[in-house]
A and B are shown apart, each in its own frame.
Chain A
Amino acid sequence: MARSRAVEAVAAPAAARDPSVRELADMQLVARAQSSADAEAFAELVRRHQARVRGMLLRLCGGDGALADDLAQDVFLRAFRALPRFERRAEFGTWLYRIAYNVFLNHTTRTRRFDPISERTRQREPAPRASHPDRGDVRRDLERAIAQLPVPYRAAVVLYYLRDVSYAEMAEILGLPLGTVKTHLHRARARLREIMLGWDETDDLEEATP
């Protein structure tokens, strides 16, 4: 089957893409995608936001990259379907993050009901400690620690560390009052450190034991 113009345009290197699309602001792209179902405008929106949406889902999914990418595809497809109804009262990115959070919540509801194994995989053991922390190990341990947090705490901490999300936007994305978001975040960070410091303590005890 021949690939459409929009798909060809997306697959092309950055320099070869339509410069007029690349220079537009998000809301202008949204307007074009809404009014004329401009596939190139939608493709540009996906290209701009995919890394952050996938990153957010990667952390929410405890570092499971394949699952995060599946959910991320679902997020963009839902956004595409709902785009004609997007009223542009929020930032496009905020809207996408909210869809992503909803997709993740739906996934956790489904897997808790039908797949208890995925709950168990959240409790995997951390990597054994080296005397100098390896970046990859730290990242993996961090993802495991995040996966052990309750979902609302997990979402708060993940969104907080996405650099372009304010507290107000976090409240909108999570559908919670601002005060609750701040409380969740405070508790989530404390819990995260507790988990990781607990692993350090266990390792130190094991090292000390002959």
Chain B
Amino acid sequence: MTARQRALQAFLRGCDVPARVLARDPTGASWLPADLRRWALDDPAAQRTIQRFVAAELALSQAPAPLDDAAFVAAVVERAQRMPRAAAGVDLRATILFVANLLAVVCAAYVLSWAVPGAPEVAGGAVEQALAAAQGAAADAWGLLPGIQGHLAGGIAVLALGVGLLLARRVRLPHTLRA
């Protein structure tokens, strides 16, 4: 490949000429650098390269779409009518995300109130009393030691948080797009 051919290809690779200009002036009289243009006029291979470049750019800028197709629309509508629709405002993944995060917060509060001496009293100790009662009930029911319960609750909190974070990454559904 000659230096001029390389120069032409380098120019075409980087050039940013609007499609309407290419359509009006496919030979490059107004957008090719003068030296390349003069050379291209006498070089059939260069002319072919320019023609193909212009044709590809114009094809790109034209709608590739098939024309309106009533059969396609009818097929979609027919299939849609046999299909159940989501209830408004209910999203399974969002619901799981909410429940997982709620569980994580509850477990974290439980671990904090149980494991940290002098943790601040909430609502006059009502929460602590309720948690202590729940802890006692769990110990009675499952025979667990307080230490095991703490680890268990911590583990559930981490697991729930993990599930919540994992879902949070995937929960950006199209309907949440902002304008």
Show the binding face of A for B, using Cβ within 8 Å. Answer: 3-4, 6-7, 10-11, 34, 37, 39, 42-43, 46-47, 50-52, 54-55, 58-59, 65, 69, 72-73, 76-77, 80-87, 89-91, 94-95, 98-99, 102, 129, 131-133, 135, 138-139, 141-143, 145, 157, 161-163, 172, 175, 190, 193-194, 196-197, 200-201, 204
Give the dominant DSSP class at B's interface. Answer: helix
Q: Are A142 and B77 in contact (CB under 8 A)?
A: no
Q: Give Cα A4–Cα B79 distance, bound, in whole angstroms.
A: 11
Indicate if B35 sits at the interface (CB-CB under 8 A): no
Q: Are B59 and A139 in contact (CB under 8 A)?
A: yes
Q: Are A91 and B179 in contact (CB under 8 A)?
A: yes
Q: Are A10 and B77 in contact (CB under 8 A)?
A: yes
Q: Are A200 and B49 in contact (CB under 8 A)?
A: yes
Residues of A within 8 A of B90 (CB): 85
Known: A47-B68, A102-B174. A138 touches B56 (CB 8 A): yes
Q: Are B80 and A76 in contact (CB under 8 A)?
A: yes
Total interface residues on B, using CB and 8 Å?
52
Residues of B within 8 A of A98 (CB): 174, 177
Q: Are B52 and A138 in contact (CB under 8 A)?
A: yes
Q: Give Cα A200–Cα B46 distance, bound, in whole angstroms.
A: 10
Indicate if B24 sits at the interface (CB-CB under 8 A): no
Q: Are B61 and A161 in contact (CB under 8 A)?
A: yes
Q: Are B64 and A90 in contact (CB under 8 A)?
A: no
17 pairs of residues in contact across A and B, judged by CB atoms under 8 Å: A39-B77, A50-B69, A52-B65, A54-B65, A58-B65, A80-B83, A85-B88, A85-B91, A85-B173, A90-B174, A95-B177, A162-B63, A172-B178, A193-B12, A197-B9, A197-B49, A204-B48
Q: Are A6 and B81 in contact (CB under 8 A)?
A: yes
Show the binding face of B for A, using Cβ within 8 Å. Answer: 1, 9, 12-14, 45, 48-49, 51-53, 55-56, 59-61, 63-81, 83-91, 172-179
Q: Give Cα A192–Cα B78 distance, bound, in whole angstroms.
A: 39
Q: Are A142 and B48 in contact (CB under 8 A)?
A: no
Residues of A within 8 A of B85 (CB): 37, 80-81, 83-84
What are the 9 tightest A-B residue pairs by CB atom distance, in nearest-first order? A55-B65, A90-B177, A84-B88, A51-B65, A80-B80, A133-B55, A138-B55, A98-B174, A76-B76
Q: Are A172 and B52 in contact (CB under 8 A)?
A: no
Known: A51-B63, A80-B83. A204 touches B45 (CB 8 A): yes
